[in-house]
């Protein structure tokens, strides 16, 4: 897309003025095109995808603990656990980490943080680890292959598209230019491939070397930017802000995690585990939950969360449904909640065996579709779908726009589409990198 050559008037303002209002700028500017490639690459979510956000304390262990340990830790302050799903350099065996384990742990209202420990930096980690190539093109290909391996590991355990997968990169010599380039190339390949397969890209790195390198190329067009950053910094401080060398505006909207204490023993319910401590405000794994149809007649599954959408198929009374998330829609009975199924269709929650018949039910997440924002000066959030609505906030460049639905509003650039975010605010879709700059982006429904 080229710069806008012809200025059109709308309600007495130029398009440039509208863009200034959208991006929160002091004065009108020429309309710059949103990024179509690095550092911001679009995520191709399939119909049944949704992201899952977790905010709170977590722990990770070398080996996924048995289900009995998870039950015993119900009284702990943690509600998420990091698990190593794939990678040639995984240290420990994973006898517990099956699809059944993932399903049962999720039923207990725990979230999962999927970790891939694959190739390691050529100038760091353990000498015996398999390493990333020093040739950038080869390293990029290795990152892409790592993403395929991680996706296969995730799918085998029931972690669906929309999940965030985290690549574990251990300590390395950040002053080694060739090594640094190799790591960044590897992670760029990882991110682009995950995005192409419908998964969010996460990276785990030491704050003082790898994370700093990643932050330094945050806006570089040479590398695809991951969606979430998980740092290691063993200072005992459970904080997601004030990170050395990394501005709070980078990975600033539900995109951060911190491992703040290394391996030590903790005991809950009489069970002792050796864990690392983590604090999360970041995307994690998405897992489907099984519920039953409670209606006495067939339940219609529709293409969107409302009776105004067409019927795609129906489910017999007593049938098992694979529910991935919940969304607001038209009211049926006592509820306006609709359940999205793993095939991308929706059913009213009123006839599903979830705990609540008036609101949302844990552990199901709200349906969201995060895409990165590409606006150098940030993107203004408003109270409604247009530049005439009041300013409600601002999302920084590279932040995730946690989209719940889309609707028509005032024209910005080449589109009239506005995104409603999970916080209730609206942003123009023109600067949200979802692969569609003129119309609606699948699989987000209409508001």
> How many CB atoms sit inside 10 A of residue 178's CB?
12
Half-sphere exposure of 423 (CA within 13 A, CB side): 16
Q: Residue 125: its pLDDT value, please?
A: 86
Q: What is the pLDDT of residue 11?
A: 30
> CB burial class (10 A; 0-12, 13-18, 19+) of residue 112?
buried
Kindly give the interhelix angle for 136-156 and 177-196, rounded to the nearest 10 degrees. Answer: 40
Per-residue pLDDT of the chain (447 residues), as tens digits, is 222 222 222 233 333 444 444 455 433 333 444 445 789 999 999 999 999 999 999 999 999 999 999 999 999 999 999 999 999 999 999 999 999 999 999 999 999 999 999 999 999 989 999 999 999 999 999 999 999 999 999 999 999 999 999 999 999 999 999 999 999 999 999 999 999 999 999 999 999 999 999 999 999 999 999 999 999 999 999 999 999 999 999 999 999 999 999 999 999 999 999 999 999 999 999 999 999 999 999 999 999 999 999 999 999 999 999 999 999 999 999 999 999 999 999 999 999 999 999 999 999 999 999 999 999 999 999 999 999 999 999 999 999 999 999 999 999 999 999 999 999 999 999 999 999 999 999 999 999
Identify the CA nearest to 108 among candidates 83, 135, 141, 72. 72
In 3D space, the residue among 251, 191, 197, 152 whose CA is nearest the CA of residue 49 turns out to be: 197
Contact 442, 386 (CB under 8 A): no
In a 13 Å sphere around the CA of 247, the CA atoms on its Cβ side amount to 11
- CB within 8 A of 76, min separation 6: which ones? 266, 268
pLDDT reported for residue 162: 99
| Predicted local confidence at residue 3, as pLDDT | 25
- Residue 222 sits at the vertex; the CA angle it makes with 188 and 176, to the nearest 5 degrees, is 75
Every domain of the chain and the residues it spans: 9-33+373-431, 52-284, 289-351
Both tokens assigned to 26: 């002091």
**Calpha distance 84→114 (Å, rounded):** 6
> In the 3-class helix/strand/coil scheme, how is the chain assigned residue by residue?
CCCCCCCCEECCEEHHHHHHHHHCCCCCCCCCCCCCCCCCCCCCCCCCCCCEEEEEEEEECCCCCCHHHHHHHHHCCCCEEEEEEECCCCCCCCCCCCHHHHHHHHHCCCEEEEEECCCECCCECCCCCCECCCCHHHHHHHHHHHHHHHHHHHHHCCECCCCEEEEECCCECCCCHHHHHHHHHHHHHHHHHHHHCCCEEEEEEEHHHHHHHHHHCCCCCCCCCCCEEEEECCCCCCCCCCCCCCCCCCCCCCCEEEEEEEEEEEEECCEEEEEEEEEEEEEECCECEEEEECCCCCEEEECCCCCCCCEEEEECCCCEEEEEEEEEEEEECCEEEEEEECCCCEEEHHHECCCCCCCCCCCCCECCEEEEECCCCCEEEECCCCCCCCEEEEECCCCEEEEEEEEEEEEECCEEEEEEECCCCEEEHHHECCCCCCCCCCCCCEC
Q: What is 289-351's CATH number?
A: 2.30.30
CATH number of 52-284: 3.20.20.80
Output the pLDDT for position 38: 84
């Amino acid at each position: 897309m080229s710069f806008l050559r012809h200025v059109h008037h709308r309600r007495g303002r130029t398009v440039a003025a509208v863009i200034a209002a959208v991006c929160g700028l002091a004065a009108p500017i020429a309309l710059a095109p949103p990024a179509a490639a690095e550092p911001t690459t679009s995520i191709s979510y399939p119909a049944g995808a949704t992201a899952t956000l977790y905010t709170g304390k977590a722990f990770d262990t070398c080996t996924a603990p048995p289900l009995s340990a998870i039950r015993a830790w119900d009284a702990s302050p943690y509600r998420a656990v990091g698990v190593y799903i794939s990678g040639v350099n995984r240290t420990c065996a994973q006898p517990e980490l099956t699809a059944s384990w993932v399903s049962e742990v999720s039923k207990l209202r725990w979230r999962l943080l999927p970790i891939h420990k694959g190739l390691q930096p050529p100038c760091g980690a353990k000498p015996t680890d398999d390493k990333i190539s020093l040739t950038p093109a080869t390293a990029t290909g290795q990152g892409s292959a790592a993403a395929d391996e991680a996706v296969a590991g995730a799918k085998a355990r029931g972690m669906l598209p929309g999940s965030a997968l985290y690549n574990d990169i251990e300590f390395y010599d950040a002053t080694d230019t060739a090594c640094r380039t190799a790591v960044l190339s590897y992670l760029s390949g990882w991110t682009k491939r995950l995005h192409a397969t419908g998964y969010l890209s996460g990276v785990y790195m030491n704050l003082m070397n790898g994370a700093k390198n990643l932050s330094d190329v945050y806006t570089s067009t040479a590398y695809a930017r991951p969606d979430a950053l998980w740092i290691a910094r063993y200072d005992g401080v459970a904080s997601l802000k004030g990170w050395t060398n990394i501005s709070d505006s980078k990975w600033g909207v539900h995109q951060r995690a911190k491992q703040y204490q290394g391996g030590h023993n903790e005991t809950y319910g009489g069970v002792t585990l050796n864990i690392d401590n983590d604090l999360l405000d970041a995307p994690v794994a998405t897992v489907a939950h099984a519920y039953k149809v409670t209606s006495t007649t067939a339940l219609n599954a529709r293409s969107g969360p409302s009776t105004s959408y067409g019927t795609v198929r129906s489910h017999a009374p007593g049938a098992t449904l694979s529910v991935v998330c919940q969304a607001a829609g038209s009211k049926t009975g006592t509820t306006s909640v609709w359940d999205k199924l793993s095939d991308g269709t929706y059913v009213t929650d009123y006839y599903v065996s979830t705990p609540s018949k008036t609101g949302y039910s844990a552990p199901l997440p709200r349906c969201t579709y995060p895409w990165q924002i590409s606006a150098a000066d940030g993107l203004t959030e408003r109270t409604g779908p247009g530049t005439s609505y009041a300013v409600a906030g601002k999302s920084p460049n590279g932040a995730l726009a946690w989209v719940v639905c889309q609707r028509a509003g005032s024209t910005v650039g080449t589109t009239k589409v506005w995104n409603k975010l999970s916080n209730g605010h609206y942003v123009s879709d023109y600067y949200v990198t979802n692969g569609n700059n003129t119309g609606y982006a699948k699989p987000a429904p209409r508001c």
